């Protein structure tokens, strides 16, 4: 073999980047109805890239929401099958004014690609496609069988793919899934994520008076929907961040002593985490637990946004009639999303202040996931990763949620390799989201190498 994965990718740095930039320019914001056309354009772009890479049977499948893309290559007889997953949709970019360069004009700066979706997940999903292209270019064929399933609803709960996986287990039958939507523990450290938190995302609406009232004429006797919502939500956690809903922690398990021990051996500078990543005056949360434990293995209740009453410039003296908050739980293994939701509903009924009516709407729901690090595919992935970065692969968890991983486990009965190349300060979901340029190329090479090794490891 005259050419290696390394030299093949290095020779194509510019075109591989140009293509990604083209994809990043499409504002495929799945949650905003006005961007529906952009989401479709992104799907077309990804499908074409898959065809160009040599995948077959590429199909854009319409759903009740945004399209799913399928493609495969199934000519590696007696070799295992890898199911590659990614998503082409992104979070809204607001607040826009905080971006140094526009979110949908990808820009190279200080070795980073700045754009919404650069790391989450367009930049990482696209590595899979380029890894396939690289292997086909080098060998004319692939070392394993591949199925690609790429969605456009990850940022809004991924309902369509979840239904699709549940209904098509035979078509998707594989040995392992491969997902690149996580981060290295730190720059240069090969990292496999073996645990994810679940997510129950809700909208809570409070109503008080039947219309906005004059706060002078009614203040003191009329309920205030904004204040009622504030009172209710404030009761949901104590000052240490412990959730006050009865039974909430019943099935929460602590990590094993060995896992805690391995987390303790990871480099972690709490001062730097606070100053450079979080940027607040102090950290919060359960004081008796280390930070990695709080964000990886403890459930949370978060309010993502709140709106109600008059919030324009100046003053308006109303008692607001309505207020709404976006609220979520992050769940850990063994917590049942349905039970948590039911307990929250009951708690709301019991704790809503007098004069206030509340309505809770579920927007999405997924349980937490754990994979077994001793699984063959995980071990091969760790080897490819170690080789590439010349360092021992670490196993960590992530506090984020990738609901599809749970669906793969439940319906296809396969583990998922969470092999991501982001960095902790990439600013996912924030202004100035970035992805390290070099990690884009490292990702392509590592994934290609993993597929090579996995094809010979059986």
Q: Name residues contacting a second copy, limited to 258-277 (CB under 8 A).
A: 273, 277
Cβ proximity of 193 and 396 under 8 Å: yes
- Relative to beta strand 394-398, strand 191-196 is parallel
Rg (CA), the chain: 23
Contact pick of 6, 235, 339, 345 for a second copy (by CB under 8 A): 235
User: What would the x/- binding string for a second copy be over residues 110 to 149, using CB under 8 A?
Assistant: ----------------------------------------
Cβ proximity of 53 and 133 under 8 Å: yes
Q: How far is CA 39 from CA 58, 68, 88, 157, 291, in A?
A: 18, 11, 8, 15, 36
Q: Tell me: does residue 302 bind a second copy (CB under 8 A).
A: yes
Nearer to a second copy, 341 or 363 (CB): 363
Least separation in angstroms between residue 232's CB and a second copy is: 9
Distance CA(387)–CA(112), nearest Å, equals 24
CA atoms within 13 A on the CB side of 266: 25
Least separation in angstroms between residue 309's CB and a second copy is: 3
Distance CA(132)–CA(146), nearest Å, equals 9
What value, to the nearest 5°, has the Cα angle with vertex 131 and ends 428 and 412? 75
Least separation in angstroms between residue 327's CB and a second copy is: 10
Site for a second copy in 168-227 (CB under 8 A): 197, 199, 201, 207-224, 226-227
Q: Tell me: does residue 63 bind a second copy (CB under 8 A).
A: no
Q: Tell me: does residue 370 bind a second copy (CB under 8 A).
A: no
Distance CA(382)–CA(379), nearest Å, equals 5
Site for a second copy in 22-51 (CB under 8 A): 30-33
- Residues forming beta bridges with residue 126, ordered by sequence position: none
Nearer to a second copy, 178 or 332 (CB): 332
Site for a second copy in 411-450 (CB under 8 A): 424, 427-432
Least separation in angstroms between residue 110's CB and a second copy is: 17
Least separation in angstroms between residue 258's CB and a second copy is: 21
Q: Tell me: does residue 308 bind a second copy (CB under 8 A).
A: yes
Instruction: Give the containing element (helix H, strand E) for 47.
Output: helix 36-53
Residue 148's nearest CA partner among 21, 19, 62, 56 is 56
Q: Tell me: does residue 279 bind a second copy (CB under 8 A).
A: yes
Q: Tell me: does residue 318 bind a second copy (CB under 8 A).
A: yes
Least separation in angstroms between residue 419's CB and a second copy is: 17
Cβ proximity of 27 and 129 under 8 Å: no
Least separation in angstroms between residue 318's CB and a second copy is: 5
DSSP conformational letter for 422: B
Contact pick of 1, 239, 257, 258 for a second copy (by CB under 8 A): 239
Least separation in angstroms between residue 35's CB and a second copy is: 11
Least separation in angstroms between residue 95's CB and a second copy is: 8
Contact pick of 314, 372, 374, 390 for a second copy (by CB under 8 A): 314
Q: Tell me: does residue 98 bind a second copy (CB under 8 A).
A: yes
Q: Tell me: does residue 295 bind a second copy (CB under 8 A).
A: yes
Residues 6+ apart with CB under 8 A from 62: none
Q: Tell me: does residue 102 bind a second copy (CB under 8 A).
A: no
Least separation in angstroms between residue 346's CB and a second copy is: 19
Q: Tell me: does residue 61 bind a second copy (CB under 8 A).
A: no
Q: Tell me: does residue 346 bind a second copy (CB under 8 A).
A: no
Q: Tell me: does residue 92 bind a second copy (CB under 8 A).
A: yes
Q: Tell me: does residue 357 bind a second copy (CB under 8 A).
A: yes
Contact pick of 186, 230, 260, 360 for a second copy (by CB under 8 A): 230
Contact pick of 1, 257, 258, 354 for a second copy (by CB under 8 A): 354
Q: Which stretch binds a second copy (CB under 8 A): 10-18, 169-177, 326-334, 339-347?
A: 326-334
Contact pick of 102, 169, 353, 373 for a second copy (by CB under 8 A): 353
- Residues forming beta bridges with residue 365, ordered by sequence position: 200
Least separation in angstroms between residue 96's CB and a second copy is: 12
Contact pick of 48, 244, 317, 413 for a second copy (by CB under 8 A): 317
Distance CA(48)–CA(255), nearest Å, equals 43
Q: Tell me: does residue 326 bind a second copy (CB under 8 A).
A: yes
| DSSP one-letter string for 152-206 | S-GGGT-HHHHHHHHH-TTTT--SEEEE--SB-SSTT--EEEEEE-EEEEEEEEE
> What is the chain's length?
458
Q: Tell me: does residue 303 bind a second copy (CB under 8 A).
A: yes
- Strands laid side by side in the 112-114 sheet: 107-109, 112-114, 434-436
Burial 235-262 (b: 16+ CB within 10 A, else e): ebbeeeeebebeebeeeeeebeeebeee
């Amino acid at each position: 073999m005259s050419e290696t994965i390394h030299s093949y990718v290095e020779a194509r740095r510019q075109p591989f980047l140009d293509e990604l930039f083209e994809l990043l320019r499409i504002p495929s914001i799945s949650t905003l109805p006005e961007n529906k056309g952009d989401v479709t354009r992104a799907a077309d772009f990804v499908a074409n890239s898959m065809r160009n890479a040599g995948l077959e049977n590429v199909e854009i499948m319409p759903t009740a929401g945004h399209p799913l893309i399928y493609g495969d290559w199934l000519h590696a007889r007696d070799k295992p099958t890898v199911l590659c997953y990614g998503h082409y949709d992104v979070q809204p970019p607001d607040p826009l004014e905080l971006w140094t360069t526009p979110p949908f004009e990808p820009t190279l700066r200080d070795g980073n690609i700045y754009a919404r979706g650069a790391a989450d997940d367009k930049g990482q999903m696209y590595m899979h496609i380029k890894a396939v292209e690289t292997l086909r270019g080098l060998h004319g064929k692939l070392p394993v069988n591949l199925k690609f399933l790429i969605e456009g609803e990850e940022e809004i709960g991924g309902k369509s793919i979840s239904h699709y996986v549940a209904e098509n287990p035979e078509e998707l039958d594989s040995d392992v899934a491969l997902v690149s939507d996580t981060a290295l523990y730190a720059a240069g450290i090969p990292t496999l994520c073996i645990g994810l938190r679940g997510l129950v995302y809700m909208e809570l609406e409070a109503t008080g008076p039947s219309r906005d009232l004059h706060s002078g004429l009614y203040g003191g006797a009329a309920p205030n929907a904004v204040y009622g919502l504030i009172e209710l939500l404030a009761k949901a956690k104590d000052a240490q961040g412990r959730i006050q809903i009865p039974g909430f922690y019943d099935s929460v398990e602590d990590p094993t002593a060995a896992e805690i021990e391995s987390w303790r051996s990871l480099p972690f500078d709490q001062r730097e985490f606070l100053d450079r990543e979080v940027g607040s005056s102090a950290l919060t949360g359960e004081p008796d637990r280390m930070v990695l434990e709080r964000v990886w293995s403890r459930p949370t209740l978060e309010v993502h946004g709140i709106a109600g009453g008059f919030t324009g410039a100046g003053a308006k003296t109303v008692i607001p009639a309505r207020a709404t908050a976006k609220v979520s739980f992050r769940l850990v293994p063994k917590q049942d999303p349905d039970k948590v939701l039911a307990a929250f509903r009951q708690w709301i009924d019991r704790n809503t202040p007098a004069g206030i009516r509340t309505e809770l709407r579920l927007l999405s729901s997924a349980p937490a996931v754990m994979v077994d690090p001793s699984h063959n595919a995980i071990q091969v992935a760790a080897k490819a990763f170690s080789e590439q970065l010349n360092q021992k692969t670490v196993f960590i968890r992530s506090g984020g949620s990738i609901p599809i991983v749970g669906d793969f486990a439940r319906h296809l009965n396969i583990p998922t390799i969470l092999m991501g190349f982001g960095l902790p300060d990439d600013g996912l979901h924030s202004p100035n989201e970035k992805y390290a340029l070099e990690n884009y190329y490292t990702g392509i090479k590592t994934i290609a190498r993993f597929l090579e090794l996995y094809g010979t490891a059986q």
